Amino acid sequence: MSGVEGGPNYSVEVEGLRVQFGDFIAVKDISFNVNAGEIFGFLGANGAGKTTTIRVLCGLLEPNLGDVRVMGLNPKQGLDAIKSRVGYMSQRFTLYDDLTVDENLSFAASLRKLTREKFSRRKKDLLEFIGFERPLNTLVKNLPGGLKQQVSLCAATLHDPDIVFLDEPTAGVTPTYRARFWSLIRSMAASGKTVFVTTHYMDEAEQCDRIALMRDGSLIALDSPGGLKRSTFPEPIYEISSSREKLDEFWFESIKKRPEILKIQPHGLRYHAQLSKGVVEGQLRELVSSGCVVRVIPPSLEDVFIRLVEGGLP
């Protein structure tokens, strides 16, 4: 089942993975595969077990149970082969603040035993890739946070890994730098690398090819963003808004009690509603006053996650 030659091409295969810290089970027997060349989003609330899973995949933690393969390699048969094909950007630490950009990069290169020629070529390519224009002897602490993350991405990919694990690479970064970072992620994936990324931002999750959702150590959903929306919300969601009259608390309380309405939630000045079984759109239009605008909207990923996390297994 490995993606070495022939057969389905997986960058990561996880089978019944369990990680335990003392009595506490941080990762509960999860299984999933990551396709080669995809952007794989790994989502979940704080403490869901994302970082723990990544640490196992990078060979930093030994699982209590289960099988793991990265690039077709089993960690039990030696970590060095895996480590040379994996890039890791950790959540807690990225670059040494008291070292310059150049020093950080050449330190990373020497840990990977890159030759001088390969290092200078990769450095040039990567700095061009991220569009780095500051002097290379800038101390990292003088870089804006978003730029620091980009340089860190360079450090993590100097050795040209086949897969990169990015653990919340855009946490605490300005929106402009976030967008920039994601364009880098997309180009990396386009060039054939697998990107395994965790994030708490929904707009970033939308850009993933597939999303895995973790809750309390379990994997509760795994699909493309579109697929997740369809499977979580098979019935349409209606947005109700009005420019003329105010849809106030009182209106909300009264319509909520109607048997035709399965669920209704305020979203800013608008409302998102789902209808009970058998109720059609026309009935909803009759229910609300003529001044209201009713339209079908796709569910946001946020809706999906709220429902999945609140409702347990779909």
Partner 1 sequence: MNLKRVLSIAQKEVYHIVRDPFTLAMALGLPLILVTIFGLAIEFNMKEIGISVYDGDKSVASRSLLRAFSSSDYFHLNHTDRLPEAISILDHEQSKAALLIEPGFEKNLGSEKTAQAQILIDGADNSTVGVILGYLSGVQNQFGRNVGQTLSGSTAPFRTRYLFNPELNSRWFTVPGLIVIVVAILSILLTALTIAREWENGSMELLLSTPVRPIEIVIGKLLPYSLLGVGSVVFVYGLARVAFGVPFVGSHWFYGLSVLLFISAYLAQGLLISVVTRNQQLSMQLALISGLLPSVLLSGFVFPIENMPRFFHYLTSIFPAKWFMIISRSLFLKGSEPHELIKPFVALVVLNVVLMGVATKLFKKDVEP
Ligand X SMILES: Nc1ncnc2c1ncn2[C@@H]1O[C@H](COP(=O)(O)OP(=O)(O)OP(=O)(O)O)[C@@H](O)[C@H]1O
Q: Give the binding site for ligand X (CB under 6 A).
A: 21, 24, 26, 44, 46-52, 91
Q: Which is nearer to partner 1, 152 or 207 (by Cβ)?
A: 152
Asked whether position 24 contacts partner 1 by CB under 8 A, the answer is: no
Residue 304's closest CA among 257, 247, 234, 253? 234
Stretch that binds Mg ion, among 45-53, 112-120, 169-177, 275-283 (CB under 5 A): 45-53
Asked whether position 51 contacts Mg ion by CB under 5 A, the answer is: yes
Structure-block tokens of residue 296: 């079908």
CA distance 256 to 273: 9
Asked whether position 99 contacts partner 1 by CB under 8 A, the answer is: yes
Q: Is 225:213 a contact under the CB 8 Å cutoff?
A: no
Q: x-or-dash pattern for partner 1, window 106-145, by CB under 8 A?
A: xxx-xxxx--------------------------------
Residue 219's closest CA among 2, 43, 21, 23? 43
CB neighbours of residue 245 within 10 Å: 11
Using a 10 angstrom Cβ sphere, with 0-12 exposed, 13-18 middle and 19 or more buried, the burial of residue 80 is: exposed
Q: Is 292:241 a contact under the CB 8 Å cutoff?
A: yes
Structure-block tokens of residue 229: 């929306």
247 binds, among partner 1, Mg ion, ligand X, none (CB under 5 to 8 A by kind): none
79 binds, among partner 1, ligand X, Mg ion, none (CB under 5 to 8 A by kind): partner 1
Tell the smallest beta-carbon distance from residue 249 to partner 1 (Å): 47
Q: Which is nearer to Mg ion, 127 or 166 (by Cβ)?
A: 166
Q: x-or-dash pattern for partner 1, window 30-69, by CB under 8 A?
A: -------------------------x--xxxxx-------
CA-to-CA separations, 93 to 212, 243, 259, in angstroms, rounded? 24, 49, 53
Q: Which is nearer to ligand X, 47 or 144 (by Cβ)?
A: 47
Using a 10 angstrom Cβ sphere, with 0-12 exposed, 13-18 middle and 19 or more buried, the burial of residue 205 is: buried
Size of the site for partner 1 (CB under 8 A): 29
Q: Is 240:246 a contact under the CB 8 Å cutoff?
A: no
Q: Which of residues 89-108 bind Mg ion (CB under 5 A)?
A: 91
Asked whether position 199 contacts partner 1 by CB under 8 A, the answer is: no
Asked whether position 84 contacts partner 1 by CB under 8 A, the answer is: yes
Q: What is the chain's Cα-based Rg?
A: 23
Tell the smallest beta-carbon distance from residue 61 to partner 1 (Å): 5
Q: Which is nearer to partner 1, 86 or 151 (by Cβ)?
A: 86
Tell the smallest beta-carbon distance from residue 210 to partner 1 (Å): 24
Tell the smallest beta-carbon distance from residue 19 to ligand X (Å): 8
DSSP string, 75-135: GGG-HHHHHHHEEEE-SS--S-TTSBHHHHHHHHHHHTT--HHHHHHHHHHHHHHHT--S-
What residues make contact with Mg ion under the rule CB under 5 A? 50-51, 91
What residues make contact with partner 1 under the rule CB under 8 A? 55, 58-62, 75, 79-80, 83-84, 86, 88, 90-94, 96, 98-99, 103, 106-108, 110-113
